[in-house]
């Protein structure tokens, strides 16, 4: 399973705007959100009815800044399945440059039960 998601960087995506720094380039939280969006897209049409995935663990190296106006592309590939756990390898590029890479682990859950438990709060 693979997926590709694109983002043209705007002022609202910068480190300044998201509070992760004071520079006008793509902020790391937005890089992570883009990578996660690719993992969600990779499984979106392949899950059983009523099921979804939720993020569990992320390892991400954000290596290169991406200025406003440029397009960042996240690609996710399902690398391993361990029961309900799905491990994706992700890469974010801008042209031929690797902006970030890492792994995102997601867990398969029943959407209704997950939301219901979340609304109940901590045990």
Those residues with Cβ within 8 angstroms of residue 52's Cβ, 6 or more apart along the chain or in another chain: 108, 109, 111, 114
pLDDT class of 122 with cuts at 50, 70, 90: confident
Res 45: pLDDT: 86
Nearest partner of 37 among 10, 88, 74, judged by Cα: 74
Rounded to two decimals, what is the model's pTM?
A: 0.93
d(CA 63, CA 18): 18
The residue ranking higher by pLDDT, 121 or 34, is 34
The residue ranking higher by pLDDT, 101 or 44, is 101
Beta bridge partners of 14: 26
Indicate the average pLDDT of the chain.
96
């Amino acid at each position: 399973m693979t997926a590709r998601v694109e983002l043209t960087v705007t002022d609202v995506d910068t480190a300044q705007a998201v509070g992760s720094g004071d520079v006008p380039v793509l902020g790391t939280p937005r890089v992570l959100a883009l990578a996660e969006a690719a993992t969600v897209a990779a499984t979106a049409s392949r899950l059983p009815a009523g099921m979804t995935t939720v993020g569990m663990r992320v390892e991400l190296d954000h290596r290169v800044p991406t200025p406003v106006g440029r397009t960042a592309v996240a690609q996710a590939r399902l690398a391993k399945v361990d029961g309900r756990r799905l491990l994706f390898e992700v890469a974010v590029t801008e042209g031929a440059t690797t902006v970030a890479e890492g792994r995102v682990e997601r867990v398969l859950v029943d959407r209704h039960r997950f939301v219901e438990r979340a609304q109940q709060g901590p045990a």
